[in-house]
Each structure stands twice: as C-alpha cells, then as structure tokens.
Amino acid sequence: MSLADTRQAPESLAPKADDERPTIIIQPVRGWFQLSLKNLWAYRELLYFFIWRDVKVRYKQTILGAAWAIIQPVMAMVVFTIFFGGLAKISSEGLPYPIFNYTGLLPWQYFSLALTSTSNSLVASAGLVRKVYFPRIMVPLATTIAGLVDFAVAFVVLIGLMVFYQIVPTLSILLLPLFLLLAVVTAGGVGLWLSALNVQYRDVRHAAPFLVQFWLFATPVVYPSSLLPEPWRTIFGLNPMVGVVEGFRWALLGTNPPTAMIALSTIIALIVFFSGVVYFQRVESKFADVI
C-alpha cells in the first residue's frame, strides 16, 4: 500500500455514532402499500436532477432547439383551423377558431408528450434501474414534470394570440394553475400505469401512440363539448382531459364555467393517479429483474 497519497479524513467526515446512523431493513415485499414518503423526501434532489437532465438534453443536437416546443402546437393549430374551423365549420363558441383551438391544444400537447415520454421513461433508464437503487417513481414523475418547460414556451404564443384577438382574461385566470395541475396529475397517473406496465409488457410502447390519437378525439380540442347535450356533457368529464381543456378555456377565454364536468374530471384524475402510485410501488421491486 502506498502511504504517500493517503490523506487523513477530517474529523467531521468520520462515520457518525451509531445512534445517528440510519437503519435500512431489506426484506421481501409484502402488503399492498408501503410507499415511504420519508424516503421520497430524502431523494428529492434526485428528482430535481432528473428533471434538469430531461430538460437539458431534450433539444440537444437539434438545429431549431426549443423552437420545437412552439412549432408543434402552432402547426397543429394551423392544420386544425384549416380543416375543422375553415372547412368543417365546427362551432368554436363564438370565439375565433385559432385561439379557441390553441387554448385546448396547449394542455393537450403537454399531456400527449408527457404521456408518451413518461410511458417509455423507465425502459429508457434500464441501465440505471439495474445498477442503482433509488425510488423508481422518480423517473416517471421527473419526465412528467419536465414536459412543463415545453408548455411554458408554447404558452408565450397563447399570450400573443390573446393580444392579437384582444381577449382580456377575467379573474377566473387565477384558476389556471389548478387546471394545469389537473393536467399534470392526469399525465402522471396514466404515465405511472403505463411506465410500470411497459417494464414487463413492451406492448405498451406500441399501444401508447394509438391511445394518444384516440384520446385526442375523445377530448374537446378541435370541437367544444357544448356539442353534446346534457347529461352527456357532464358524463364526458369522465375523461379527465375534458375537464382540463374546458377549464383552460374557462380560465383564459371566459367560456361558461363547466363546474360539474371539472369536478368529475378531478375525481377521475385523482383515482387514476393514486391507483397508479399503488400499482407502481407494488411492482417496482421486480423492475430490476425483468427490465
């Protein structure tokens, strides 16, 4: 042993006394719920670093960079405006079709991107899952949250559209963060389910794009939910994204408040999210074995 480069550890770095040391017990997984919030809290910095990584690498080696976050929804809006607003003359509740559509597209784009990337997030991190311990739930959660950066960029365009069409938001705009949260919870909930299922059944990767496509038409992005008569309109809220999109229009454009629908959407989103958390932590101990 070479003593030349052996340095003495400073006193403060020496291992702590027994009573201060944390104790970890490793044993077979039992019961249906044992998510430790304390453990999640201990790893909160990792969540931050995962989000930071996802944001940093998202537009690496692209020419247009973050402009993609604008191009995608704007191009979608242009196409929808031509076909649904222009040719099919779908009602837009008295609003100019482009802004009516874009207000719905904004949370929808966030949701669809978050959903597809989250469902693939664990498999994409297979190397990590096999070699390091950390609460696995951090991976899909970080991916879901990282998508908000694109949302923020695309939101700038919406402000531009509101100025252009001279739409002054009412006080209900204060509710916007809640609807955004509803979108995050929905994307996170579905993402938790799909990412965990994807570890074992890679079918998810192929099914997710279809799911998103169908879901778009089951969500009032290109049309208003007022096309449906009651009580179907409220029942439509069983799709949580209906509540999100109608909530966005209410908060930003001052359409009629769809309260019952939003309440239903919120309940469903919470059910999906918490069942997702339960399912995820039930199967996460097996991830390293099957991924």
290 binds other proteins (CB under 8 A): yes
CB neighbour list of residue 278: distance below 8 Å, 6 or more residues apart = 32, 33, 35
- Give yes or no for a contact between 239 and 214, defined as CB atoms under 8 angstroms apart: no
First to last CA, the chain: 41
Exposed/middle/buried for residue 43 (C-beta within 10 Å: 0-12, 13-18, 19+)? middle
Q: How far is the CB of 195 from other proteins (least distance, A)?
A: 14
Other C-beta atoms within 10 Å of 265: how many?
27
Residue with the two structure tokens 């290109």: 222
Q: How far is the CB of 287 from other proteins (least distance, A)?
A: 8
Q: Binding mask 170-199 vs other proteins (x if CB under 8 A, - otherwise)?
A: -----------------------------x
Q: How far is the CB of 88 from other proteins (least distance, A)?
A: 37
Among positions 40-79, residues that touch other proteins (CB under 8 A) are 45-46, 48-49, 52-53, 56-57, 60-61
134 binds other proteins (CB under 8 A): yes
Q: How far is the CB of 272 from other proteins (least distance, A)?
A: 21
Among positions 243-282, residues that touch other proteins (CB under 8 A) are none
Tell me the number of residues near other proteins by CB under 8 A: 49
Among 11, 18, 63, 231, binds other proteins (CB under 8 A): 18
Other C-beta atoms within 10 Å of 125: how many?
21
- Give yes or no for a contact between 260 and 276, defined as CB atoms under 8 angstroms apart: no
Q: How many CA atoms lie within 13 A of 146 on its CB side?
A: 25
288 binds other proteins (CB under 8 A): yes
Among 64, 130, 156, 214, binds other proteins (CB under 8 A): 130
89 binds other proteins (CB under 8 A): no
- Closer of 74 and 128 to other proteins (Cβ): 128
Write out the H or E segment, with its range, that includes residue 40: helix 37-42
Q: DSSP state, 87?
A: I
Other C-beta atoms within 10 Å of 163: how many?
10
- Closer of 16 and 71 to other proteins (Cβ): 16
Q: Which residues bind other proteins (CB under 8 A)?
A: 1-2, 5-7, 9, 13-16, 18, 21-29, 45-46, 48-49, 52-53, 56-57, 60-61, 127-134, 199-203, 285-286, 288-291
